[in-house]
């Protein structure tokens, strides 16, 4: 397995998102931190690992598309969990808006990567 020519920017974006989510967790009550926010962090880490695995998967491997599509679903799950945290009053509105804008950027990058991979195979 050879490393990719260039690390995709989406990996950096997800790492920065996780850093913020982790920091938010310190400010939450124990109930929220061990409840829904634990699911948020786990989902973010799963997304992170899928994207890294896709980056190191060979271009011709069919699993790369599967990983990227699964990562796209995980990204939507994370966005919905964050929306739920906001609706429950666990995180502030400005925090939610900032994280949502990051999630939109990550989603666009993932969709662009998927499009690039599928066009290349055609």
CB distance 35 to 96 below 8 Å: no
Domains plus CATH for the chain?
9-121 (1.20.1440.60)
Q: Which of 3-12, 15-24, 57-66, 100-109 has the lowest mean pLDDT?
A: 3-12
Do the Cβ atoms of 106 and 13 come closer than 8 Å? yes
What is the SS3 string spanning 90-115?
CCCHHHHHHHHHHHHHHHHHHHHHHH
Distance between start and end Cα atoms, the chain: 24
Torsion of CA 76, 73, 39, 33, to 10 degrees: -30
Q: What are phi and psi of 54, to 5 degrees?
A: -65, -35
Residues 25-58: tens digit of each pLDDT: 999 999 999 999 999 999 999 999 999 999 999 8
Average pLDDT in the 94-110 region?
Answer: 96
Check residue 62 and give its pLDDT: 87
């Amino acid at each position: 397995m050879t490393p990719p020519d260039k690390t995709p920017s989406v990996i950096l974006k997800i790492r920065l998102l996780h850093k913020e989510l982790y920091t938010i967790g310190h400010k939450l009550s124990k109930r929220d931190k061990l409840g829904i926010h634990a699911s948020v962090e786990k989902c973010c880490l799963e997304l992170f690992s899928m994207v890294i695995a896709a980056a190191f998967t060979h271009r011709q491997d069919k699993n790369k598309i599967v990983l990227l599509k699964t990562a796209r679903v995980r990204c939507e799950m994370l966005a919905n969990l964050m929306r739920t945290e906001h609706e429950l009053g666990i995180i502030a509105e400005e925090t939610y808006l900032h994280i949502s804008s990051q999630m939109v950027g990550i989603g666009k990058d993932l969709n662009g990567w998927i499009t690039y991979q599928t066009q290349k195979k055609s």
